[in-house]
Structure 1
């Protein structure tokens, strides 16, 4: 790449950055491309190393990465992406429209549950939950409260799998239709309760649990098995246990 190419890539990056989703690292870029994200451009400090990595781990998208990427000096990359991923690549993508996500979440009948995170406080946990939801084939992930589930830290923790499922922030009184199955220590043991495909699985914040409003609206309170004197599980662990109990559709083989 010439210096002019690098300068133009930096200019476009700075112009697009305010409204774009940051794909920070190779795996985020790989997953976004696999799930048809509209990626506007990628930058790296070592194109040869990036394409070698892609050839080893994701040959299905290597050609697309080669078309998108522009090499820039490492100092420039660190300036544009202060928390640089060890794979030294970052990209910008278009965020899915809120209307499309909301319609996907509201559509009935559903083939899989929706995960609802009620006022989560940790962006890393949000991203980890999105990754789980994508892997299990959940319909989507909804957050309530003031944290944006598309924050760069959440997208990084989700490894770009926000594009593999519907992810949206909604008010608690604007949730899609479906039975509310709220995870609560006083609920019935989840192992004794089949979780329907159309359920909204509601998990509380890491510190305060589910809000009284959503708890009162619950169609079912469910609890996870836990050894006495152990106070709680990590949020993502709780979601994984609940989705594993649901079961999920048969996974199709893929890359």
Structure 2
């Protein structure tokens, strides 16, 4: 829907909010209010089953990878479209037809923490059945990243963003963290829609050899990681769970200076995916 806010006329004409001959500005104000109210009604109808896309970049990526987006709002439509012109001309037309202007207070009430781009949207979550099918499909040309009982929502989002960038088949979490939590989606910049993201028990992991990162494992530089690998990472605090360690086919260690305790989770995933891509991974993004 198009922003129907107050008119800004050309040189010599009345400015925003100023009435000229035969014009009071009231129809424009009323139309803008009606547009905002309609967008809010659609939002309320979809907020339960849908996923929050928090910020311009999350919406941009979700649209690029085929997400169904029933509603998108912004308190700065012109600014959002200018960003699209600069950073995402491929989805600019879609955004032009999708974004509704709402007052900033209305926008801020829909999100936990307003994004600098003042954009928010709702997207239909991909089918779990379809995701599980993608994860289980063999032969697999790119790895699956497994986060074993992760704790930090932002780190989980960063890992999903990395996995999407490397073309990984998917990201699986074990434990209680919801990989579709709004904070995870925000950290992933909407790239949940570019890969299969699900929460599973260790016993439900998709097929493939499990290469689990562990300080006592074999130096990763001596290994070639297969394309169908499950690359498993424990939490920074407690490492691999007993269940995941028992499921592992190989323990793998990243090079690290003595007396350094650990790497950040996303950093570990990035190094491991890079090693896979640089040592023969056939499905990686060139």
SS in 2 for 1:208: coil
Matching of residues 18-167 of structure 1 within 5 Å: 18-167=48-197
Distance 2:216 2:285 in 1: 33
1:189 aligns with one of 215, 219, 228 = 219
| TM-score, scaled relative to structure 1 | 0.97
Could you tell me how far apart the structure 1 residues matched to 2:218 and 2:236 are?
20
Q: Does 1:224 align with 2:224?
A: no
Equivalent in the alignment of 1:169: 199
Structure 2: 5+ residue stretches without partners: 5-30
1:240 alignment counterpart = 270
Residue 205 of structure 1: CA displacement?
1.3
Aligned length: 252
Tell me the CA shift for residue 5 of structure 1.
1.3
Classify the secondary structure of the residue corresponding to 2:185. helix
Q: CA deviation at 1:250?
A: 5.1
CA distance in structure 1 between the partners assigned to 2:43 and 2:232 by the alignment = 37
Which consecutive unaligned segments of at least 5 residues does structure 1 have? Answer: none
Could you say which residue in structure 1 is the equivalent of 2:42? 12
CA contact (8 A) 2:166 2:284 kept: no
| Higher Cα radius of gyration | 2
Deviations 1:139-165, CA, capped at 9 Å, x for gaps: 100000111101000000000000000
Q: Which has the higher contact order (CA 8 A, sep 6+)?
A: 1
SS of the residue 1:70 aligns to: strand
| RMSD over aligned Cα atoms | 0.9
Over 6 Å off, 4+ runs? none
